[in-house]
């Protein structure tokens, strides 16, 4: 998935002639804490709600003030993983998208990114989750897939989470079966460490939320 396919049609850009009050109102409406300032398709930078409060003159046009704007962006041909990396690393609620001529095309919101990764991770699909813990050198996708498919199940999603300050990995696998008892028994027979397993929808949702936040933190590091 490329950045250009995630551009929001809803969230507008500010002009230097817009006031701080207008910017804050838009931020509240669209539930973001940053907005781009764009004049004639030229991206000037991102302004945050904190920047506006610091001006202490929110009724005046933004352009009347000397601003030290950050200017993060991604290009329309960058992969969604690179978009997520920029958003996580800079702690942004939106990221502007430019074309190869630095023309402003629009922005991607953090909410849109979360929605995309939720679909990619098959959160809405029925199934269960298995978390394996193993050393990096022991990881074999083909063997893991063979064990799961040998029990008449399919992998819907597989994520790898390196453990901090360790050579171990957490392998988070979602499969298309609710009853995963036979799969767990096979993993145990092959001497895999099953760190956790989840079969209820509310637990799955909580796990994915926790893993996504951990992934964002990992990218930020």
Which of these three, 66, 83, 118, is where a domain ends? 118
Copy the structure tokens of residue 197: 């397993």
Give per-residue pLDDT as tens, 122-131. 677 788 999 9
The average pLDDT across 134-150 equals 94
Copy the structure tokens of residue 112: 């849109």
Helix (H, G, I), strand (E, B) or coil at 144: helix
82, 148: one domain:
no
16, 111: one domain:
yes
89, 192: one domain:
no
pLDDT at site 220 = 56
100, 169: one domain:
no
Compute and round to an integer the Cα radius of gyration of the chain.
22
50, 147: one domain:
no
CB-CB contact of 30 with 110 (8 Å) = no
For the cut 50, the answer to whether the pLDDT of residue 2 exceeds it is yes
Run of H or E residues at 119: helix 110-120
How far apart CA 184 and CA 155 sit, in angstroms, is: 14
Q: Which domain holds residue 149?
A: 121-220
44, 97: one domain:
yes
pTM over 0.85: no
């Amino acid at each position: 998935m490329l950045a250009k396919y995630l551009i929001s049609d809803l969230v507008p850009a500010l002009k230097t002639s817009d006031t701080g009050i207008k910017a804050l109102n838009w931020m509240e409406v669209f539930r973001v804490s940053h907005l781009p300032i764009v004049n004639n398709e030229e991206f000037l930078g991102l302004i945050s709600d904190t920047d506006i409060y610091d001006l202490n003159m929110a009724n005046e046009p933004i352009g009347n003030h000397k601003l030290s704007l950050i200017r993060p962006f991604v290009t329309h041909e960058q992969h969604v993983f690179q978009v997520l990396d920029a958003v996580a690393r800079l702690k942004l609620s939106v990221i502007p998208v430019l074309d190869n001529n630095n023309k402003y095309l629009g922005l991607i919101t953090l909410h849109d990114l979360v929605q995309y990764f939720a679909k990619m991770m098959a959160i809405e699909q029925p199934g269960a989750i298995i978390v394996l813990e193993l050393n990096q050198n022991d990881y074999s996708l083909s063997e893991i897939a063979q064990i799961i498919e040998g029990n008449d199940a399919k992998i819907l999603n597989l994520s790898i989470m390196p453990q901090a300050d360790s050579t171990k990995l957490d392998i988070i696998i979602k499969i298309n079966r609710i009853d995963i008892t036979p799969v767990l028994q096979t993993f145990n027979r092959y001497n895999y460490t099953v760190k956790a397993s989840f079969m209820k929808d509310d637990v799955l949702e909580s796990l994915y939320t926790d893993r996504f936040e951990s992934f964002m933190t990992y990218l930020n590091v």
